[in-house]
Chains A and B, each alone.
Chain A
Amino acid sequence: MVDEKELRDVVKKTISRDDVKYVVGYEKGTYGFQATPCFAYKPEDAEKFIFSPLCVHNLTVFPMLEEKPPLRKGEEPDTRKIGVVVKGCDSRAIVQILQEKGLERDKVVIIGIPCSGVIDPKKIEAKFPGHIKKVEVNDEDDKFAVTVDGKTQKIPKDELMPEKCKTCEYPNPVLYDILIGKEIKSKKKEDYKKVNAFEKKSMKEKWDYWEKQFEKCIRCYACRNACPLCYCKECMVDQLNPQWVRRSVNLSENTAWNLLRAFHLAGRCIGCEQCERACPMGIPLMKLNKKIEKEIKEMFEYEAGISAEEKPLLAMFKPDDPEEFIL
């Protein structure tokens, strides 16, 4: 359980610094089981900050989304830092971005929160369907205490957690400037059970499955935009000359997009599951990401978002990398 008062104090202190532009954290959403990103520009804004198991967003996407409009004459660029509230998984995104030099370390203030698991909004909405306006969710060891219409129910975490939390190896932020509360211990281990199970299917079964998934895609690019690591200035699907992926929405172009999206996150995806959460069509994108994560762990003994000093996976090599597939 995170002490929200401590969080607010830290945010207040951070935003009071001259060298901080704003702090991004969470506030209560507008309905039901929603939390939403919020921004503090002045100390008073910190009052609305919360942290609960409903805070599923990865806020590290925001420093990467900052538009840099062309400066007017005599205007100085705003080089102040951005404060970000992060959970364990989110912090790995920052580490990964730092590793790729997408962001400079001294441009962010990282407010870390140890997290023992969040709630999958889809799962909880399925469990409590209907006209819910305000709810309260609290973290109680191995259960979530969900209060709806004044009635509290305790639900085992496994029933409501997204997949990523069930096998989370990094409940504590990997990198932070300030930590709220104390680090927590966790014995969870990523075992790639689902990936392994899927691998056992035949080629035809696999393609039949993915064909159906990719056909659903409407190419809104919510997966890309919600992803903190998809921060290319110009995404390859927006490129016109040459145009690799056509704008038409059909199986071929959708497959190309989804495969390339997954590939472009190889060795970079830190498993925060934002893509899958944001997808309005419910495409299980993490199944692709997790497969790559597993393979690079096996082939290259590499894990993304752990060390900012390491070189990016696909920008380095070892002479004895696996090459049994080469003729």
Chain B
Amino acid sequence: MKENPYQPWLATIEDVREEVGGKRPIKTFKLKFQDKNVQNNFTFLPGQCAMVSLLGMGECFFAISSSPTKKGYIEVSVMKLGKVTTALHESETGDVVGVRGPYGNYFDVEGWKGKNLVFIGGGIGQAPLRSLINYIVDNRKNYGKLDVIYGARSSKDLSYKQEFDELEKRKDVNVHLSIDVEEDGWKKFVGFVPDNLLKVKPSPNNSIAITCGPPIMIKFVIQNLEKLGYTEDQIFTTLEMRMKCGIGKCGRCNIGNLYVCKDGPVFSYKQLKNIYGER
């Protein structure tokens, strides 16, 4: 039989890190392929996704949240919501998962060389951005000014805290964190991410803005970016849909004639404006 894109490779969970606790917990899983050849040949770029499955439970499509500059493993960040993600949250180091990918397109990290970058993330939407931010930071000299705007419901819901602490220490990255509701001891911005964006006011000159988060946040972020003078081809986002195959066959993740899994998940606002369809 021909090569089978539906058949995953086996990978072992090397490490589980709890990013966020509470009702909607987020954990980051560090996965290492069992087959060395597979591990070495699995190359991806920030923004790409992988199909991760717990055999017996099902598959889910996740953005790879580790940077391609970190070799030897991949990481996915998972929010506990449905059947598979709940089961994943119950797995431990040493458990085996199936992984196939990488799927989809990626952020144009080559084309963006020399530009200023603004990252606007909310909640679990930070996962694909984390991959990109780490990639950019590891290739810092190729890019201009970096602004990272990130917010969550409360300080407890902010993920990748350690990494943000480290980023904040760096002089060549500006980090702007926010939470939605006031909290004791919180000295940074209080309010929604789009409002924080207006406060930070990143200049549109020679800039690219990349946003990911809940649909409603993306909508207002785009509105505010336009207010700040960003044009439609300066704004990029990554989308999420229910997916089953990851390779543009099963039919459910289409927006117009494009499949989010295969033709996305990274879209420019210009592209999005020109395709119609429910999203």
Contacts and interface: CB of A to CB of B under 8 A. Distances in A.
A241 interface: yes
A108 B210 CA distance: 50
A3 to B, nearest CB: 43
Nearest to B87: A241
Interface string B128-139: 000000000000
A246 to B, nearest CB: 12
B83 interface: yes
A241 B83 CA distance: 7
A241 B58 CA distance: 12
Contacts of A241: 83
Contacts of A203: none
Contacts of B83: 240-241
Interface residues of B, number: 2
Interface in A227-247: 240-241
A56 B83 CA distance: 41
Main secondary structure on chain A at its contact with chain B?
loop
Nearest to A241: B83
A79 B82 CA distance: 32
A241 B56 CA distance: 12
Nearest to B86: A241
A288 B83 CA distance: 34
A36 to B, nearest CB: 26
A240 B82 CA distance: 9
A269 B242 CA distance: 35
Contacts of A240: 82-83
A241 B87 CA distance: 11
A186 B36 CA distance: 80
B90 to A, nearest CB: 13
Contacts of B82: 240
B207 to A, nearest CB: 32
A304 to B, nearest CB: 35
A71 to B, nearest CB: 14
Interface in B68-99: 82-83
Nearest to A240: B83
Interface in A164-178: none
Nearest to B82: A240
A240 B83 CA distance: 7
A17 to B, nearest CB: 33
B275 to A, nearest CB: 22
Interface in B26-62: none
Nearest to A242: B83
Interface in A98-155: none
A110 to B, nearest CB: 34
A116 B83 CA distance: 51
A22 to B, nearest CB: 23
A240 B85 CA distance: 13
A240 B60 CA distance: 14
A241 B57 CA distance: 10
A242 to B, nearest CB: 10
A165 B82 CA distance: 46
B159 to A, nearest CB: 25
A325 to B, nearest CB: 38
Interface in A21-71: none
A164 B240 CA distance: 48
A324 to B, nearest CB: 43
Interface in B190-209: none
B6 to A, nearest CB: 16
A97 to B, nearest CB: 30
Interface string A238-276: 001100000000000000000000000000000000000
B232 to A, nearest CB: 25
B214 to A, nearest CB: 14
B246 to A, nearest CB: 18
A122 to B, nearest CB: 31
B53 to A, nearest CB: 14
A241 B82 CA distance: 9
Interface in A282-300: none
B215 to A, nearest CB: 12
A67 B227 CA distance: 36
A268 to B, nearest CB: 30
A269 to B, nearest CB: 32
A81 to B, nearest CB: 29
A240 B57 CA distance: 10
A240 B58 CA distance: 10
Nearest to A243: B83
A140 B82 CA distance: 58
A260 B83 CA distance: 24
Interface of B: 82-83
Interface of A: 240-241
3 contacts: A240-B82, A240-B83, A241-B83
Considering the complex of A and B, which 3 residue pairs feature the smallest CB-CB distances, nearest first? A241-B83, A240-B83, A240-B82
